[in-house]
Structure formats: structure tokens, C-alpha cells
Amino acid sequence: MDFFRSNVRKSASSKNIAKERLKLVLVHDRVNVSPTFLEMIKGDIIRVISDYMEIDEDNLEVKMTKTKSDEDESMVPALVANIPIKRMKGAAR
């Protein structure tokens, strides 16, 4: 019985992951943002913040998602960046 439960949890988790990926693909498609464009943004972010902090570039994540607008509660595209910081550089402290 435990075997069945663990497989159900895995498939539910896989289902949710696939669902989220599909949502992201749809957001990218609707705002007409290519993966190349996101990589360009990622490169620009790295260049700008590298003057102030040392970051973990291998684990930096930039993605498009949707969020509620403050004005009318409609859903609008949002750029989300998750940037692991290793340490702050001298002048920024």
C-alpha cells in the first residue's frame, strides 16, 4: 500500500510541475518573449549587479510569470529573478 501512495505523490508532483511549465510557456508565448531574449536579460543583470556583489551565476534563474496588477486586479506578465548572492563586495557594504 505504501508503494501505491508514494507513486501517487510522485505523479501528483509531476503533474503540478508539468502544469506550471505549461503556464510559463503560455506566458512566454503571450508576451512574445523568446528564450534568447531571457538569456540577454540574464546577462545584463549579471553584468550590472556583479559590480556590487558576487553571485552564484550557475544557479541564477530568470523567468516570466504572471502576477496581479495593482490597478485593476488583472493578470499581467512579470519578470522574476532568483539571484543567489555569495557575498557583498567592498564598496557596497
Cα 25 from chain centroid?
12
Instruction: Tell me the pLDDT tens digit for each residue of 31-61.
Output: 667 778 878 888 898 899 998 999 998 998 8
The C-alpha atoms of residue 82 and residue 53 are separated, in whole angstroms, by 14
For residue 26, give the nearest of 78, 53, 65 by alpha carbon. 65
Q: Are 33 and 66 in contact (CB under 8 A)?
A: no
On average, the pLDDT of the chain sits at 77
Record the cell numbers describing residue 61, joined without a space: 534563474
Cα-flanking dihedrals φ and ψ of residue 71, to 5°?
-75, -50
Question: What is this structure's pTM?
Answer: 0.54
